Amino acid sequence: MPMWQIYHPENAFSDADKQEIAQKITSVYESFLPRFYVNVFFHAVPKTSFYIGGEPTDDFVRVVVEHIARSITDPAQQQQFLNGCARILEPYVGARGYRWELHVDETPFELWTVNGFKPPLPNTPAEIRWRTENKPSAHDQA
């Protein structure tokens, strides 16, 4: 599952901005993952709780992306993914004068469940069903 956590100054994004960003992030994955796999969390951080280099700030956005459903091992694909992330975020952060940083963690697929189910392996009939139905369901895990 891709989980994006976006730590940002208070009032950096409107509710409409947040929905647009979440929809754009989801669109990156929807051709090969169930849409419900994509989680986006916005964390507004007050200036008194946001420090960069030991100094309070209100002009920085930190994005943490966690991948579980898929890993990106090819360096060219990694760069392509990072470039895509920048295209999504730039109009909302850099273009508005915010400094920003992003990193991606990858968690082992084997250490993941959804509603208590082990997710189906990539491109299996069960995963295709999860993607089509946009919800988890029981499947043969063999």
**Predicted pLDDT of residue 40:** 98
- Contacts of residue 65, defined as CB under 8 A and 6 or more positions apart, other chains included, come to 2, 3, 4, 5, 85, 102, 103, 104, 105
Reported pTM: 0.93
CB of 124 within 8 A of CB of 141? no
Express each pLDDT in 97-135 by its tens digit: 999 999 999 999 999 999 999 999 999 999 999 999 999
Q: Enter the tokens of residue 54.
A: 């030991």
Q: Is residue 141 predicted with pLDDT exceeding 90?
A: no
CB distance 61 to 12 below 8 Å? yes
pLDDT of 56? 94
pLDDT tens readout for residues 4-42: 999 999 999 999 999 999 999 999 999 999 999 999 999
What does the CA dihedral 116, 118, 123, 124 come to, rounded to 10 degrees? -100
Tokens, residue 65? 């992306």
pLDDT band at 142 (very low <50, low <70, confident <90, very high): low
CA distance 136 to 55: 44
Q: Answer yes or no: are the C-beta atoms of 112 and 121 closer than 8 Å.
A: no
CATH code for the part of the protein at 3-133: 3.30.429.10
> In the chain, where are the structural domains located?
3-133
Residue 61 has pLDDT above 70, yes or no: yes
Tell the residue number behind the tokens 């208070």, with chain if given: 10
Lowest mean pLDDT among 34-38, 64-68, 102-106, 136-140: 136-140
Closest C-alpha among 15, 2, 21, 16 to residue 100: 21
pLDDT of residue 108: 92
